[in-house]
């Protein structure tokens, strides 16, 4: 995934890029996100699931071949995904679903120490270079295939058909520039996007909190055993 261009995929050519639990096995996460960003069209989406750590994984764990092979050594601290996405140019990630990863192997548990793991599915959007960040009222038309009554966009946004919802400037820009544009009525607000001097906590993007809320967990599956 770090070399999508070398694989012959043209820049600005894709509407959606999908990835399923392999970024944790890639040493250069930034290169992976950058390549996905490069090949996406404006308004395009990176939709992916992966393993995430509850804290920064120390170098000695990254150098452990077994932990790396299981995805545990290469898992991103979930907060680092947010800053990494922004640095590449993506929108703020949107958390769709999450589950705790339960590690039963005693050797792996001992090596991991107090680091927890979760599976998280996120969607990231490539916005135009100078998007209009204005709060808006949006109304879902019920036109996305298989979702006639409501569209669960992520764990924080559920759009019911014909029900007006106020969204922030970034979400409005996503709906305006992405493939979802025909499916929404978008009415820009008269007021500019409100600003805050405080640092966002992004609690709604924490896969561990969402997994706890959902009561969801999955068994850690080996990526190396046959």
Instruction: Specify the pLDDT at position 199.
Output: 55
Domain boundaries, the chain: 14-128+201-219, 136-188
Burial of 9 (0-12, 13-18, 19+ CB in 10 A): middle
The burial of 45, by beta-carbon neighbours within 10 Å (0-12 exposed, 13-18 middle, 19 or more buried), is given as buried
- Tell me, what's the pLDDT at 2? 78
Q: What integer pLDDT is reported at residue 226 of this predicted model?
A: 42
Same fold, 14-128+201-219 and 136-188: no
Is the Cα dihedral 33, 35, 40, 42 positive or negative?
positive
- Predicted TM-score (pTM) of the model is 0.90
CATH top-level class of 14-128+201-219: alpha beta
What pLDDT score was predicted for residue 131?
79
Per-block mean pLDDT, blocks of 10 residues, the chain (226 long):
84 96 95 97 98 98 97 98 97 98 96 97 95 91 98 97 97 97 94 58 92 78 51
Top CATH class, 136-188: alpha beta
CA distance 59 to 166: 43
Residues 6+ apart with CB under 8 A from 6: none
């Amino acid at each position: 995934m770090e070399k999508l261009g070398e694989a012959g995929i043209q820049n600005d050519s894709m509407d959606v890029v999908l990835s399923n639990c392999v970024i944790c096995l890639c040493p250069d996460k930034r290169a992976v996100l950058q390549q996905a960003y490069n090949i996406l069209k404006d308004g395009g989406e990176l939709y992916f699931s992966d393993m995430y750590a509850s804290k920064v994984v120390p170098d000695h764990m990254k150098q452990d071949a077994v932990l790396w092979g299981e995805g545990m050594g290469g898992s991103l601290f979930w907060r680092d995904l947010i800053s990494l996405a922004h640095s590449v140019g993506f929108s703020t990630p949107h958390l769709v679903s999450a589950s705790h990863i339960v590690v039963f192997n005693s050797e792996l548990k001992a090596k991991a120490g107090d680091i927890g793991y979760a599976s998280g599915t996120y969607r990231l959007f490539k916005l135009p270079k100078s998007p209009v960040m204005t709060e808006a009222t949006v109304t879902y038309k019920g036109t996305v295939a298989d979702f006639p009554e409501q569209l669960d966009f992520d764990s924080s946004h559920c759009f019911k058909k014909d029900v007006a919802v106020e969204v922030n400037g970034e979400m409005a820009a996503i709906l305006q520039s992405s493939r979802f544009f025909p499916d929404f009525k978008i009415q820009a607000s008269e007021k500019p996007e409100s600003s805050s001097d405080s640092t966002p906590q992004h609690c709604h993007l924490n896969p561990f909190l969402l997994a706890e809320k959902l009561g969801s967990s999955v068994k850690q599956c080996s990526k190396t055993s046959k």
